[in-house]
Amino acid sequence: MAGEPQADCLFCKIVAGEVPATVVRETETTVAFRDINPQAPTHVLVIPKVHYPDAASLAAADPKAAADVLRAAGEVAAEEKAESYRIVFNTGSGAGQTVFHAHAHVLGGRGLQWPPG
Ligand code: AMP
Ligand code: ZN
């Protein structure tokens, strides 16, 4: 069923505590943890506890969870003292998405080029 945990999903396993992660923040609906391959001094992933394959499908099916991800992303940036930061939702393999459980990358702690690559 949409939104239910998927047995083959890495981030569902992190939500379930079956795969370890460096969790920096957890709310009723979200988990935030450090990216295993950081691209900036602050690189935290914020995920909804419910499983949807990407940010747009999450927002369509569960707008509150999508908003909770955005709010948590801002709270993480504030905790990390990143006064400028970027929230990225890679969507589709051509855009670099490798884990098909919606997630926000929160990147900060260095200058960020615009436009991104
Ligand atoms: P994306 O490429 O946008 O789908 O983002 C997936 C991110 O998950 C990448 O930046 C990976 O470095 C990160 N990642 C993969 N496995 C883990 C893990 N076990 N713990 C933390 N981050 C991970
Ligand atoms: Zn999942």
Res 48 pLDDT > 80 = yes
CB atoms < 10 A from the CB of 28, how many? 7
Rounded mean pLDDT of 86-107?
Answer: 98
Considering only CA atoms, which residue is closest to atom 13 of ligand 1? 35
Query: In the prediction, which pLDDT does 86 show?
Result: 98
Domains of the chain as residue ranges with CATH: 1-83 (3.30.428.10)
21 CA from centroid of ligand 1 (Å): 11
Cα 26 to chain centroid, rounded: 12
Verify whether residue 103 is a known catalytic residue.
yes
Query: In the prediction, which pLDDT does 75 show?
Result: 98
Give the 3-state secondary structure of residue 16. helix
Which of 43, 51, 101, 103 does the annotation list as catalytic?
103
- Name residues contacting ligand 1 (CB within 6 A): 10, 19, 21, 33, 35-37, 45, 90, 96-99
Res 76 pLDDT > 80 = yes
Rounded mean pLDDT of 103-110?
Answer: 98
pTM above 0.75, yes or no: yes
As a whole number of angstroms, the distance between CA 25 and CA 40 comes to 18
| 75 burial via Cβ count (<10 Å: 0-12, 13-18, 19+) | middle
Considering only CA atoms, which residue is closest to atom 1 of ligand 1? 97
User: Which residue from 90, 106, 112 is spatially nearest to 33, judged by alpha carbons?
Assistant: 106
Query: In the prediction, which pLDDT does 117 show?
Result: 82
106 CA from centroid of ligand 1 (Å): 12
**1 band by pLDDT with thresholds 50, 70 and 90:** confident
Rounded mean pLDDT of 41-52?
Answer: 98
**43 band by pLDDT with thresholds 50, 70 and 90:** very high
